[in-house]
Structure formats: C-alpha cells, structure tokens
Structure 1
Amino acid sequence: MTPECTRVGGTGHAARRGATAGTREFFLLWRVLYDDVMTDAGISPRYRLERRPRRVLPRLEITVPAKPTLRIATRKSLLALWQAEHVRDRLMALYPDLEVELVAMSTRGDKILDTPLAKVGGKGLFVKELEDAMLDGRADIAVHSMKDVPMHFPEGLGLSVILEGAEPTDAFVSNQYSSLDELPEGARVGTSSLRRGLQVREARPDIEVLSLRGNVQTRLRKLDDGEFDAIILATSGLKRLGLEDRIAQDMPPEVSLPACGQGALGIECRNDDADLVRLLAALDDPDTAARVRAERAMNTRLEGGCQVPIGGHAVFEDGGRTLWLRALVGNPEGTQVLRAEGRGSAEEPEALGIRVAEDLLDQGAGEILARVYGDV
C-alpha cells in the first residue's frame, strides 16, 4: 500500500496567497525579535532599520596642471629658426610632456646691413636681444651657432651644452667656377668674415674681396644677380637649409681654416636655473664640446672675439685620446698670417688651446690684433 501524503500549501492562487501570508508573518515575527534585541542593547528605535541619509559631498574644483613650457629665444632668419626647431624637436623627443615655444625676434645685427660687422660690434650684435630676453624672463634659453657666440657672457648667463657638430668647413659657392683656384684675375668674392677674407687674399691676392651682409638667402640672391663671382659661406648652414647643391667646393682647412666653434650649436641659459641645466644636459655631446672648448680657449687667450681674423680647428687623433688643434691669426689684407698647431690630451682641451695661443702670441699675434682693433 502506498502511504497517504498530506499536501501542504495547495496549488494555484490559493497556494500563492498562503505563501504570501506566510512570508508576511515571518517578517513580522523577525521585526518583533529584532526590536527586542535592539531594546535590550539600549539602542533607540529611531535608528532601527532606517537607511542612513546619503552624504552629499561638496563639488570639488580640480585643476589639471599645465604641461611645463620652455621658451626658446631665436632670430627670425631661416637658419636661426632651423636651429631653434632642431633643439625643440630634440627636447620634445626626450621629454614628451614638455611644451616648447619659439620666441622669434629681430636683433640689431639683423637690422644693420650696410656696414661690415667688425665696425659695428661684431657677431655679438646677433645675441644681445636674445640674452636680454632670458635675463628679463621672456625666454628660458637661446640657441646659437657657436662660431657667432662671444667669448664672454653677461652676468647670470652661460653656455649650458654644446650639441653634436656638423661639418665645420667653409663652402665655396659660385655659379661659374668650381674652386678658388679657378677664379680669374679680378674676380669678386663676397664674405662678411675677416677670417675668410684674409685667407682668400693670402691665396689669391689678384682677386677682390668685398663685404657681403644678410642672411643666407640674401647672399645667394646677390650672387645670382651677378654682384659677385663667388661667395663663401659655412657648409653646415647651407646643408641645414637643404642648399647643399649650391656648394661648388667644400673648402678643406688647409685652404680656409674654419672659425672657432664652426658647425656646432650651443645653448645659452640662466646659470641659476639648476633644473633647466639638468634638463638640457641630455643634449650635450662631449666630443664636440671638447673640440670647441679647445678652439675657444685659444681665442679667449688671444683676447679675440667672434668677428676677428682668427681661425681654429680641432680634430681627434689616436682613437679619441688626443686633440690636434690648428690656429691662425692674420691682418685683414692677408699680407701677414701667423699659424700654429699643437697636440694635447682630449681630457684637457683648454690647456691645449692656451698653449697654441701662446705660440701665436710669441710670433706677434698680439700686435696684429691690436692693429685690427685699432682699425675697426
């Protein structure tokens, strides 16, 4: 026999009503038990089973800090802008969060175009306005072609880094002739540099050297207009502007000894900005810096500037352990040219530069430079 089973709850609506009633009775019983427990615990009924009010937080104004901005003072010429943009791109590649702004300005040297530089203050005319901008806080750094940087800096400013250099040579540019030797007697050669002019006159006293001012494009236009048979410019500047096809001859140092620091770029900034100096240090190229330091030490010992008839060119030898420095001093006419050279440890470039300068002074360089300064 099958035992009888008692059905509990039934089916259909009646069963659901029974279940609902049972649930309600269960919660009522639970509430009574809960109240008894809370009362025994001494907790006031007003806190029982009440949801705590939502806490409304004050609205917070969040300011996202701006990216740090570095301002580069630069001249407005295409070559100066290329140099500043080159440094900007290098810095932004190293520091992606850094914003870099170019502060372009005209300098006195850009405005005085009818007088030879040596008679109006030399290449220092191209940097004074940039230095003023750094000193009064309108700019943080300035990018210079090292051949144009004066030997001394204003108080509070200094050279922080020297970037990897390009070709330091001079370029012979002509639409008709391939070298200085090919120029006919009486040819006209344009340059703004006393150093270049004296070497051209020494090699070719039969040709005429004329003053040539203006930016690279202006000088090339004057050549194309027939004012000159040839002009001499820095190889690095032409290549940086994509004008290497205008170079007829890359003049070797034996023909035209470059200016001190030619081909290298330097960054000037405030000496007391330690954070900025550390940030820029990643751009420094020790090899280029050593060569330039030797060349500039020689120039400084001669008490020369960047617009005097002085040349200096240092190269590494012996696997980079030795520097070979060649230098010259001459009168603008090219009738008296003194040369000296020396080798020394690459770890002490300034000592080498001073030693070579002393050799030139022993030959009479001081007297030549005194006459040059007296003439200008």
Structure 2
Amino acid sequence: MKKTITIATRESALALWQSRFVADLIEANTPYKTELLPMTTEGDQRLEVTLNKIGGKGLFLKELEQSMLAGEADIAVHSMKDVPADMPEEFQICAVFQRADESDAFVSNTYDQLHQLPPGAVIGTSSLRRQAQLLALRPDLKVRPLRGNVNSRLQKLDDGGYDAIILASAGLQRLGFDARIKSRLTTPDWLPAVSQGAVGIECLQDNHDLAAVLKQLADVKTWQCVKAERALNLKLEGSCSVAIGALAEYHADNTLSLKAGVYSPDGKQSIVTQQQGYDPEELGQYVAEELLSQGARAILDLAN
C-alpha cells in the first residue's frame, strides 16, 4: 500500500489550487498518495490591517509549520513569495516548481493601462513594493489598502471601491481570471516580488528521505532563480515591511542575471541594479551588496 503524504495548506481558493497542483505531481511521479489538510492562518484572519503592521507574510506559514512539527502534516505548499528569506532552522524548502507568469497585473473595469488613470484615481494594494513603484510612476494616484483573497479583492473592485487594483498575474491565471488582466507591469519599469510566480514545498529539515524524493520533482532553472532572489532578500533583511523587487532569469549559457531594486514607501527614492553570475546564492548576495553600497540601507530604513 502506498504511503500517504499529508499536505498542509491555507484554505483560500488559490492556496488549494496550488496544493492540488503539487499533489497531482507527487501522485504522478512518486509512489506516494496525498491528502490535503486545509487550515486558516493568522494572516488570513487578520484582514483589517496590512501585513507589515502585524508580523509580515510569515503569518501565512506559522500554523502550517506547527502542523508539521506536531506530526499532523508532512509538507506544506506555498507561494514562494510568501516564504520569508530567514526560515526557522527546523524547516527547508525541498522543491520549487516551474515558475508561472512573474508579473503584476493591472486590473480595472474602466482603464486598460496604468498611465490611463486620471489624477487622483484610487488604486488598491497592500504591498509596500507595489505602492512604492506605483507612486514612483504615478505620484498623483491615491493608493489604498486592499487585502483578502483574489476573489474578494476583485469583488471590492467591482463594488466600486477602487478605480484599479494590482494583483499577481499568476494567481489570476491559476484561478481562471485571465480576462481580468488588462495589462502587465514588467521590467524595465517594474519589478515583481522576490520569487513571485513560483510554488514550492516546505518540509522538516530532518525529513531526509521525503525531501530526497520531492527534490526530484523540482524545476532546476526556477529553483536557481528563486535561490538567487532569496539570497538577495536575506542579505537585505527583506520582508513585507520594506519595498524590494527582484527578478532572476536563467540563460542558455547557464548564467543567471539578477535585477533588483529597493524603493522608499513614497516612491521618491529608488536604487536599481543588475548583475550576472553562475552561483545563485553568490549572485544574490553580490547584488544585495551593490545595492547597499549605493545607499539602499537608508532607503529600507525609511519603512521601519
């Protein structure tokens, strides 16, 4: 009889989609069966305030990690952009899958492009990174907080609370809302969150046998890119309390390029740099050091 892997997951539609996606991969490529353990996390419950004021994106992981420590679950599935760079020592990321669309999506019922918004238009996001880049491009806009799952955020737009909202393109696509994407915000003018568009598996650090099996499912190129971005984030002490954007890309000659930027919350200050290299973690640390040498720490401290 096949052993069953219990997957801890948040209860949102997007988290469940991601967990079922991983479950299908596991069942198709390993001897294991799977079952889901849906859970509500503190980050899902406390929607009245922005994440940077109540402890950051780690609030989406705490209950899932506790379920693994208690032996109730074997693994947890996450959007990698929600996984803090500085993880508890008891845990590891044991697989990252092929990255989907890493861009941010401009969503509106009236306008097709960010530049079409009239002065004073209200745009919704609770991401400090998105806020900073929006105000850098359009300081005349009013950025208002927007939290909740994808469906509830779209409903708030439809109810007339915002002229436009910014969401991750990958999340919209995974839930079948491709048609809601009016345009994409991309480089060179815009950088996504660290590891945006990538889904990964977290397991216990000492669960060596299971980790070895799951690592075989990983997409090596995406994992290299995610390692570079997370190394940068770790060096910069990144969290949702600071505005950091990054995008690594894998090239045919086996090199990686990493473009990253730090932004003041009001969008008035920014430092952006780009480098290439072979070792993802060395590249991430090097780009972070480049940003710091150009004054990034002073900008990042503005948000604290």
Fold match (TM-score > 0.5): yes
Q: Is 1:86 aligned to 2:21, yes or no?
A: yes
Equivalent pairs, count: 304
Q: Secondary structure in 1 aligned to 2:273?
A: strand
Selected match of 2:215 from 266, 281, 288:
281
User: Normalised by the size of structure 2, how large is the TM-score?
Assistant: 0.97
Deviation at 1:278, TM superposition (A): 1.6
Q: Secondary structure in 1 aligned to 2:144?
A: strand
Superposed CA RMSD in Å reads: 1.1
In structure 1, how many angstroms separate the alpha carbons of the residues matched to 2:125 and 2:234?
24
Aligned-pair identity (%)? 51
Q: Is 1:126 aligned to 2:126, yes or no?
A: no
Deviations 1:5-56 (A, max 9, x none): xxxxxxxxxxxxxxxxxxxxxxxxxxxxxxxxxxxxxxxxxxxxxxxxxxxx
Amino acid of the structure 1 residue aligned with 2:81: K
Deviation at 1:320, TM superposition (A): 3.9
Deviations 1:269-300 (A, max 9, x none): 01111211122122111100111111111111
Q: Contact between 1:92 and 1:100, CA under 8 Å: does it hold in 2?
A: yes
Q: Name the residue aligned to 2:10.
A: 75
Q: Secondary structure in 1 aligned to 2:302?
A: helix
Deviation at 1:307, TM superposition (A): 4.7
Q: Is 1:245 aligned to 2:176, yes or no?
A: no
Q: Name the residue aligned to 1:327.
A: 260
Q: Name the residue aligned to 1:369.
A: 300
In structure 2, how many angstroms separate the alpha carbons of the residues matched to 1:222 and 1:255?
27
Q: Name the residue aligned to 2:282.
A: 351
Q: Name the residue aligned to 1:100.
A: 34
Deviation at 1:255, TM superposition (A): 2.9
In structure 1, how many angstroms separate the alpha carbons of the residues matched to 2:301 and 2:224?
29
Q: Name the residue aligned to 1:196.
A: 130
Amino acid of the structure 1 residue aligned with 2:10: R
Q: Contact between 2:9 and 2:77, CA under 8 Å: does it hold in 1?
A: yes
Deviations 1:281-337 (A, max 9, x none): 2211110011111111111111112552000001123x2422111111111111111
Q: Is 1:310 aligned to 2:244, yes or no?
A: yes
Q: Contact between 2:109 and 2:158, CA under 8 Å: does it hold in 1?
A: yes
Q: Is 1:336 aligned to 2:269, yes or no?
A: yes
Q: Contact between 1:150 and 1:306, CA under 8 Å: does it hold in 2?
A: no
State the 4+ residue runs in structure 1 displaced beyond 4 angstroms: none
User: Normalised by the size of structure 1, how large is the TM-score?
Assistant: 0.79
Q: Name the residue aligned to 1:215.
A: 149
Distance 1:274 1:191, change over 3 A: same
Residues 52-201 of structure 1: pairs in structure 2 closer than 5 A: 66-95=1-30, 97-201=31-135
Structure 1 stretches lacking a partner, 5+ long: 1-65
Deviations 1:123-157 (A, max 9, x none): 11101100111111110000010111011222321
Amino acid of the structure 2 residue aligned with 1:133: S
Q: Contact between 1:151 and 1:306, CA under 8 Å: does it hold in 2?
A: no
Q: Contact between 1:158 and 1:271, CA under 8 Å: does it hold in 2?
A: yes
Q: Secondary structure in 1 aligned to 2:237?
A: coil
In structure 2, how many angstroms separate the alpha carbons of the residues matched to 1:266 and 1:150?
13
Amino acid of the structure 2 residue aligned with 1:74: T
Distance 1:291 1:306, change over 3 A: farther
Residues 33-48 of structure 1: pairs in structure 2 closer than 5 A: none
Amino acid of the structure 2 residue aligned with 1:332: P
In structure 2, how many angstroms separate the alpha carbons of the residues matched to 1:171 and 1:94?
33
Structure 2 stretches lacking a partner, 5+ long: none
Amino acid of the structure 2 residue aligned with 1:362: S
Choose 1 or 2 for highest CA Rg: 1
Deviations 1:202-236 (A, max 9, x none): 00001111110000000000000000000000010
Amino acid of the structure 1 residue aligned with 2:274: E
In structure 2, how many angstroms separate the alpha carbons of the residues matched to 1:306 and 1:131?
19
Q: Secondary structure in 2 aligned to 1:367?
A: helix
Q: Contact between 1:344 and 1:352, CA under 8 Å: does it hold in 2?
A: yes
Amino acid of the structure 2 residue aligned with 1:195: R
Selected match of 1:299 from 233, 237, 256:
233
Greater RCO (Cα-Cα under 8 Å, separation 6 or more): 2
Q: Contact between 1:148 and 1:306, CA under 8 Å: does it hold in 2?
A: no
Distance 1:306 1:207, change over 3 A: closer
Q: Secondary structure in 2 aligned to 1:353?
A: helix
In structure 1, how many angstroms separate the alpha carbons of the residues matched to 2:86 and 2:237?
10
